[in-house]
Amino acid sequence: GKYICGWEVEKMSKSLYNVQNPDELIEKYGADTLRLYEMFLGPIEQSKPWDTKGIEGVFRFIKKFWRLFHNGENELELSDIEPTKDELKVLHKTIKKLQEDIERFSFNTGVSAFMICANELTDLKCNKRAILEPLTILIAPYAPHLAEELWQLLGHNESVVDVAYPEHNEEYLKESNFSYPVSFNGKMRFMIDLPIDMGKEDVEKAVLAAEEAQRWLEGKTIRKIIVVPKRIVNVVVG
């Protein structure tokens, strides 16, 4: 015979003595972590493998979300400065995604959207009240205990569940720039960010003036420039 050591997937059952006690997980990680982890496992109608290592990742997300509101000394620190365009875009992109996910009961992708949002706001070093207050309302159906505590810390007396759910504004989602892939004789060489409403002639001038373009133009004659607005630029040289 052959001895094989590996993982075996089986149904969680009392008779198999493989049941995970939720009370132990809640004691260690909190109810919101367990709630988010169960949502994050995948579509609610499908069977999913239970892996407690995944709970650690969700627990790290909750701590990262909390740090958006607090400084290094764990003190609430918010700014009343007007949010930037990038910060508003992150917020309203998340609102739109969550609206779509909730309507189709896709809670796992909703949790993923929160994780992406927290990462992007962390990178932007955003602690703006105008961004974080609506974000607190957004996360309430997913992590109610976290949301309720943050809502009270933000100075509100009513429950966060009694507040109207945010709606996204398409104006904040409009792109002002487009990243053009620039090709020379059909081979992509570099990307260039240009205003999305820039005309063909101006796109040509901007591409030819770019420092990266000089390397591929040196000693060559421009035969033709093909500009497909909001798609691609191809420079034919010989």
Angle at which helices 85-103 and 107-123 pack, to 10 degrees?
A: 170
Q: Which residues contact 218 (CB under 8 A, 6 or more apart)?
A: none
Residue 18 DSSP SS3: coil
**Which stretch of DSSP H or E encloses residue 191?**
strand 187-195
Specify the pTM: 0.72
User: Quick check: 129 and 76 in contact, CB under 8 A?
Assistant: no
pLDDT of 44 above 80: no
* Residue range 130-163, pLDDT digits in tens: 999 999 999 999 999 999 999 999 999 999 999 9
Q: List, for residues 170-203, the tens digit of each pLDDT value.
A: 999 888 889 999 999 999 999 999 998 899 999 9
Domains of the chain, each with CATH number or no CATH: 22-172 (1.10.730.10), 177-237 (3.10.20.590)
- Residue 111: name the closest of 157, 179, 60 by CA: 60
Order of all β-strands in the sheet with 177-184: 187-195, 177-184, 232-237, 222-228
Per-residue pLDDT at 21: 72
